[in-house]
Structure 1
Amino acid sequence: MLIPTLISHSSRLCICLTVMLLSSWCATASAAEENAEPANTPTAEQLRFFETKIRPVLAESCVDCHSADLAESDLRLDTLVGMLDGGKAGPAIVPGKPASSLLITAIGYQDGTLQMPPDGKLSKQAIADLTKWVEMGAPHPESGEAAKMPRKSNIDLEAGRAHWAFQPVVKPEVPAVSQPEWVKNPIDAFILHALDAQQMTPLPAPDKRTLIRRATFDLTGLPPTPDEINAFLADESPEAFERVVNRLLDSPHYGERWGRHWLDVARYADSNGLDENVAHGNAWRYRDYVIESINSDKPYDQFLREQLAGDLLANEGDYRKRNEQLVATGFLSLGPKVLAEVDSAKMEMDIIDEQLDTLGRSLMGLTLGCARCHDHKFDPVAQADYYAMAGIFKSTQTMESFKIVAKWNENAIPSPEQEARLAEQQAKLDAKKKEVEALVAAATTSLKERLKEGEALPEKPETQFTAEEQQQLKTLREAQQQLEANMPVLPTAMSVKDGKIEDIPIHIRGSHLTLGETVERGFPQVIDIPVENKVPADESGRLELSNWITHPEHPLTARVMVNRIWRWHFGEGIVTTPDNFGLQGAKPSHPELLDWLASTFIEKGYSLKEMHRLMMLSQTYQLSSERDPVRAETDPDNKYYWRFNARRLEAESIRDAVLAVSETLDREMGGNLLNVKNREFVFNHESKENVDYNFTRRSIYLPVIRNHLHPVFSLFDYADASVLNGDRQTSTVATQALFLMNSPFLEEQTEAYANWLINQEEDMFARIDLLYEKSYGRLPTDEERARLESFLQQFPTVWRQDHPEADDAAVTVASWQALCHAVLAANEFTYLR
């Protein structure tokens, strides 16, 4: 979005005020470096991308002809060195330069003399992945420091279990500290103990206005109202903040905010993406399930069991519970799928791989997908472990059909009343069909008698029925068609169920065409806990998997989740790679604190709300976010939590906060806003989007369309809905500031905000105070009041130059709209301190 070339006088004045209010929006965009060499030290995420997206394609489509066994044209594609050295035609890849890479040219069929694979072009997704990989600098396990990692042909389980994340969770003693009076709960003791070791001290607490704004956005994703702020200010008791936290946890908006966090992990989307971007018309039921579960403080272990095996859990004959548990299994079905893949066996294994990758990283912080083609390069996960788990999902029906365009499975979730109506209508239809059959039989008998008497056989025997018989038949068939048209349609949900039960063989190099030894269904052997690992011969094993993952002695499940909760509260995880607890992931900054939190989480019945209370009522959460140059010199990244991490609001909170302060937010919960029918394309034949975003509901209810996000989402670092993401990144680019200054959305909402302020207060200074308190949670300083008063005095004269016909009422609205717009475009509105 560009600033218009011609800017009116009034707009120029508004922009000046905006610049005055903006604290420091950095609009520097760094140019991408052109790598001549592969990435020196690939990140864990880059290696995961290679192992899950690139290696399987190379293994299936390239290395049969380009490997140590057979290097056609002297080219090897089974090693990084082979790709860099290339063959007779030159290097296969130039890291960072896909346009200069022969591999990309060949797979794109851009040159009639160089087209690989020769027996058919790769899928669009595979080409896009390979291009992206080269663009990234061709990260590979052989490059940089990763080359120094020991390669494991045989997994040493005992050595693997020595890694901190596979060690049992043991609740440590709370340490002694230098300032015990500072400690509000054990969290503070662990934090202060680490600070003591660095000879550092934490910052003091912020003012109460900052604290309630922080807590309200943190738990609900919305700003506090002036009444809520003033009630907190008036409460001088030691329990005042605790009461605020409890009130926010009881708000239905809490589930919307924290449900959105989980949906990032669940890679939630309302469309499939990839090759066939068709609508997930019933995905919203899973989203609402998540919100309701979190609002009700459903124990986390139960939450996981329902998502992995809800269809297999007991429901005591309660249809609501049955339907809820079926909807929960949508977690396994939400991933993107290549629905037009001609090879159904490949499609199925790719879907299973996506499920395993999601399950591993979301629930255990393990990159299981890296063991599809071979033993995991770094973690103690054997290829046999991968296919033991893959067999569980091979025995699960995720897809209704693999025929192009493939369809995912949906299960009916009716109420007893809906089932009764359907049965009643079906009975009427069956009775009508019998009447038709009886009439046809009788008329046919009559016709046969007439034929015996010498009548000629008609071309259409039915036309030889008597007029009365034909009229009766017409009436009956019309009634039958009416019944069929009015047949109730039962609600359905994206969900899974047990399918054909089978163990599967190891796929050599990840290829479903080259099979090895069959592996019994089971779980990764490195995690040794006292639970029955044997999967029943007549069941998929998902129920056993859900019990294994949620076992209290599982070393990863509780650790991973408390780390996620900590990251979403404090802006950085104790483990800074929340989706990877393996050897390529980060080590915990405070390992004892992590284990204390995990143990406490289990002890408190896996209650998320108890963890919120624990973290938010700590002194650590209630620190100022101000920067201190002395402390920053010792700990510039705030690794030791000497202050609270200031951070920008997420895309959803920015949009929702604008709607909230302008009093246009529709707070209705739940339901479907996707105006495209289930399994229909979200783009029409002209590639124009069919989806409507014109709602003032909370952002969590807006459709999430893969490959084409809502403009606000894409600008402000929304999670990639095609993959799980427990660690959203924050960028700072000029287009974000331009959006806040120029977008029609902000124009519309600030006009509504201005009208609301004008109707609320007659006095100019009272309006200014209300504007600041609603927007920033604080009152303006005397200097700010004077500055805004000057703006409001100057603006009408300047604005009338462009609008000479405007009356006084229009001038007043325009003045306050410009002021509201400037306030909402400032950093203070979009940042949490």
Structure 2
Amino acid sequence: MAATASTADVIPVEQLAAGSCRCSTAQRIASLFSSAFLVVVAALWVPTVPAANAVPDYEHDIKPILEDRCYPCHSRIKQKAGLRLDAGRLIHAGARDGPVILPGRGDESVLLRRLLSTDEEERMPPEGKPLAAEEVALLRAWIDAGAKSPADEPIPKTPAEHWSFQPVTRPVVPAIRQPERARNPIDQFVLARLEQRGWTSAPTAGPSALLRRVHLDLVGLPPTPAEQERFLREPTAAALDGIIDELLSRPAYGERWARHWLDVVRYADSNGYERDAEKPFVWRYRDYVIRSLNSDKPFNRFVLEQIAGDELPDASAETMIATTFLRLGHWDDEPADPPTDRFDQLDDIVGTTSLAFLGLTLGCARCHDHKFEPLSTRDYYGMVAVFQPLERPRDGRTELALPVGTRAELAALEERDRQIAALLKHEPALSPEDLGARTNALLAATPDLPRAYLWREPSPKPPDAFVLLRGSAARPGEPVAPAVPEVLAKQQPEFPAPDHRTTRHRLGLAEWLAGPKNPLTARVIVNRVWQQHFGHGFVRTPNDFGLMGEAPSHPELLDW
């Protein structure tokens, strides 16, 4: 076997050409390969620092440095000191306090001075290592040469201009060349887009296929032979409309479509972790969702009830059960770090609420400002402050359920229990028979109420809320008040004053979520419904309507 070639086997090329070396074929091949490799490396090597009088290229040399080290604080998402460095024209525009570069005078430019400062309060970037000397040299040379950039360089839109953060408007239904093909305005939007692209729609499904699709879509079961025979005798549009109305009125409709919502809100019958304990009475929430769908409850009411059903003026057993939404997350009944676990539970509520209703990944801002979205740590803890008054009812490791009803029913139950407690306190003065008779009379007059799996607010006085530094429960920072993400509200919503029972912070949030000033809730739920009917939504990232999510395929139809 030939010996493996090594660096010691490399023979000068001229010796190989002259045939002056007695070596194996493998050695000769290795020698040729090594020489070729060195030639390729030499050809590819580009010095980092430009040669004298060479002007750095903005796109190739300058923009990558800015993108890597400066964009986190000075681009479209965040503009500290009013400075953006993500486009040449914006660099020339400078910051609130004035220009940061002086073309032709690199060493006199504020940008270079801040990059080279030895003062930790002044040096940029404030985190991480300073820029390498080679990077600073490139920036200096570029500014000295006039800080030129392409005139047609696009300027990235700011978060405030992002499509999903704009107010919802009612678009005009487009005209189409073949109006007879459209049964409704939705058809017109779809056909208009096909016409724009020069496409034709797929052939109309046959009566059997159409009937089957409608049944599977709405109730999850195929039509019976009798239903098929009846429709095929008269497969008209009016007959199909009648079948759809009948399917929507079936209990099976709510049972099928509730599954889609339960997936969004992380519904489960147990808590997870090693003991995986059962969530008591959690099934009442499942049934609530089914009833809401089958009764055609308005979606804004559906939102209000799940966030603040116990704080509504007309609170009832039904609306209180709806707030089980807030408690559906997993729960560790024996946490290693109880304060951290407490904020893990609040994080679950904030994260699920923002994903389910807003389509935003707000949970990513728990430890630091979101890296890719205009969501700050302060935005995150403003939402945490909304839910912080909540407490989990439990007895040690055992979770407890709470009675639900109208305010009058709950007050009567509290009064009954107070009277029973008073009887027991005076038990020595009563015979067992008398005590039992009185207790039974009170129970008969005011029976127990249903119980449900809820959080509770023990006091109308909210606890102090803070930004947690790096997300640590042991490191409270600046105080925060209840708030919604700043990018979605030019003016924060007014949170109602507390009543004698709760802070009513959740009611303020719920009214904003379900109100017309919030541009996201309606778009997100329309997209979810379309997704379940047709396989994918207008926006193919249904839980992400932020900057990193996909743009809608049919924005006008989504808003219509």
User: Which TM-score band (shorter chain)?
Assistant: 0.5 to 0.7
- Equivalent in the alignment of 1:410: 402
Aligned counterpart in structure 2 of residue 565 of structure 1, from 486, 507, 529: 529
1:150 and 1:558 map into 2 onto residues whose CA distance is: 32
Q: CA deviation at 1:386?
A: 0.6
- Equivalent in the alignment of 1:518: 479
Aligned counterpart in structure 2 of residue 438 of structure 1, from 429, 454, 457: 429
Change in Cα spacing, 1:300 to 1:148, as seen in structure 2 (3 Å) is farther
Three-state SS of the structure 2 residue aligned to 1:311 is coil
2:294 and 2:220 map into 1 onto residues whose CA distance is: 14
Q: CA deviation at 1:520?
A: 1.5
Give matches, 1:552-701, under 5 Å.
Answer: 552-596=516-560
Q: Is the 8 A contact 2:279 2:399 kept in 1?
A: no
Aligned counterpart in structure 1 of residue 331 of structure 2, from 326, 337, 343: 337
Aligned counterpart in structure 1 of residue 515 of structure 2, from 536, 540, 551: 551
Give matches, 1:123-202, under 5 Å.
Answer: 150-152=71-73, 155=78, 159-202=158-201
Change in Cα spacing, 1:524 to 1:416, as seen in structure 2 (3 Å) is closer
- Equivalent in the alignment of 2:254: 255
Change in Cα spacing, 1:327 to 1:529, as seen in structure 2 (3 Å) is farther
Q: CA deviation at 1:238?
A: 3.6
Which amino acid in the other structure matches residue 151 of structure 1? P
Q: Deviations over 1:625-669 (max 9, x none)?
A: xxxxxxxxxxxxxxxxxxxxxxxxxxxxxxxxxxxxxxxxxxxxx
Change in Cα spacing, 1:513 to 1:432, as seen in structure 2 (3 Å) is closer
Which amino acid in the other structure matches residue 524 of structure 1? P
Aligned counterpart in structure 2 of residue 400 of structure 1, from 374, 390, 393: 393
Give matches, 1:273-352, under 5 Å.
Answer: 273-315=272-314, 322-352=316-346
1:237 and 1:537 map into 2 onto residues whose CA distance is: 57
Q: CA deviation at 1:530?
A: 6.7
1:162 and 1:172 map into 2 onto residues whose CA distance is: 18
Q: CA deviation at 1:219?
A: 0.8
Does residue 495 of structure 1 match 2:454?
A: yes
Which amino acid in the other structure matches residue 429 of structure 2? A
Q: CA deviation at 1:366?
A: 0.4
- Equivalent in the alignment of 1:220: 219
Which amino acid in the other structure matches residue 492 of structure 1? R
Q: Deviations over 1:591-612 (max 9, x none)?
A: 121111xxxxxxxxxxxxxxxx
Task: Provide TM-score, normalisation by structure 1.
Answer: 0.45
Q: Is the 8 A contact 2:527 2:537 kept in 1?
A: yes
Q: CA deviation at 1:535?
A: 5.6
2:361 and 2:381 map into 1 onto residues whose CA distance is: 14
Which amino acid in the other structure matches residue 220 of structure 1? V
2:376 and 2:317 map into 1 onto residues whose CA distance is: 37
Q: Deviations over 1:15-58 (max 9, x none)?
A: xxxxxxxxxxxxxxxxxxxxxxxxxxxxxxxxxxxxxxxxxxxx
2:383 and 2:71 map into 1 onto residues whose CA distance is: 25
Give matches, 1:355-370, under 5 Å.
Answer: 355-370=349-364
Q: Is the 8 A contact 2:321 2:453 kept in 1?
A: yes
Which amino acid in the other structure matches residue 352 of structure 2? T
1:151 and 1:547 map into 2 onto residues whose CA distance is: 33
Three-state SS of the structure 2 residue aligned to 1:498 is coil
Count of residue correspondences: 410
Change in Cα spacing, 1:285 to 1:386, as seen in structure 2 (3 Å) is same
Decide which moves more: 504-513 or 411-420: 411-420
- Equivalent in the alignment of 2:97: none
Change in Cα spacing, 1:412 to 1:173, as seen in structure 2 (3 Å) is closer
2:475 and 2:464 map into 1 onto residues whose CA distance is: 16
Three-state SS of the structure 2 residue aligned to 1:553 is coil
Which amino acid in the other structure matches residue 491 of structure 1? P
Q: Is the 8 A contact 1:371 1:381 kept in 2?
A: yes
Decide which moves more: 573-582 or 486-495: 486-495
Q: CA deviation at 1:502?
A: 2.7
Three-state SS of the structure 2 residue aligned to 1:506 is strand
Q: Is the 8 A contact 1:381 1:526 kept in 2?
A: yes
Q: Deviations over 1:174-231 (max 9, x none)?
A: 2233322212222222212222233211111111111111111111112211222222
- Where does the alignment leave 5 or more consecutive residues of structure 2 unmatched? 1-66, 83-156
Compare relative contact order (CA 8 Å, sep 6+) and give the higher one, 1 or 2. Answer: 1
Does residue 375 of structure 1 match 2:296?
A: no
Which amino acid in the other structure matches residue 331 of structure 1? F
1:396 and 1:271 map into 2 onto residues whose CA distance is: 20
Change in Cα spacing, 1:147 to 1:410, as seen in structure 2 (3 Å) is farther
CA RMSD of aligned residues (A): 3.4
2:407 and 2:470 map into 1 onto residues whose CA distance is: 47
1:411 and 1:490 map into 2 onto residues whose CA distance is: 6
- Where does the alignment leave 5 or more consecutive residues of structure 1 unmatched? 1-145, 316-320, 440-472, 597-833
Change in Cα spacing, 1:148 to 1:364, as seen in structure 2 (3 Å) is farther
Change in Cα spacing, 1:409 to 1:583, as seen in structure 2 (3 Å) is farther
2:552 and 2:304 map into 1 onto residues whose CA distance is: 27
Q: Is the 8 A contact 2:393 2:401 kept in 1?
A: yes
Which amino acid in the other structure matches residue 348 of structure 2? E
Report the structure number with the largest CA radius of gyration.
2
Which amino acid in the other structure matches residue 159 of structure 2? G
Which amino acid in the other structure matches residue 471 of structure 2? G
Give matches, 1:64-79, under 5 Å.
Answer: none
1:181 and 1:361 map into 2 onto residues whose CA distance is: 40
Q: Deviations over 1:785-830 (max 9, x none)?
A: xxxxxxxxxxxxxxxxxxxxxxxxxxxxxxxxxxxxxxxxxxxxxx
Q: Deviations over 1:348-383 (max 9, x none)?
A: 110010001100000010011001001111111111
Q: Is the 8 A contact 1:576 1:586 kept in 2?
A: yes
Change in Cα spacing, 1:276 to 1:498, as seen in structure 2 (3 Å) is same
Q: Deviations over 1:256-282 (max 9, x none)?
A: 111111111121111111244111120
Q: Is the 8 A contact 1:504 1:518 kept in 2?
A: yes
Q: Deviations over 1:539-593 (max 9, x none)?
A: 2411010011111231101100000010000011110111111111111111121
Which amino acid in the other structure matches residue 370 of structure 2? H
Q: Is the 8 A contact 1:521 1:535 kept in 2?
A: no
Change in Cα spacing, 1:478 to 1:298, as seen in structure 2 (3 Å) is closer
Which amino acid in the other structure matches residue 242 of structure 1? D
Q: Is the 8 A contact 2:303 2:514 kept in 1?
A: yes
2:410 and 2:246 map into 1 onto residues whose CA distance is: 37
- Equivalent in the alignment of 2:494: 533
1:584 and 1:591 map into 2 onto residues whose CA distance is: 17
Decide which moves more: 359-368 or 488-497: 488-497
Q: Deviations over 1:89-141 (max 9, x none)?
A: xxxxxxxxxxxxxxxxxxxxxxxxxxxxxxxxxxxxxxxxxxxxxxxxxxxxx
Q: Is the 8 A contact 1:429 1:484 kept in 2?
A: no
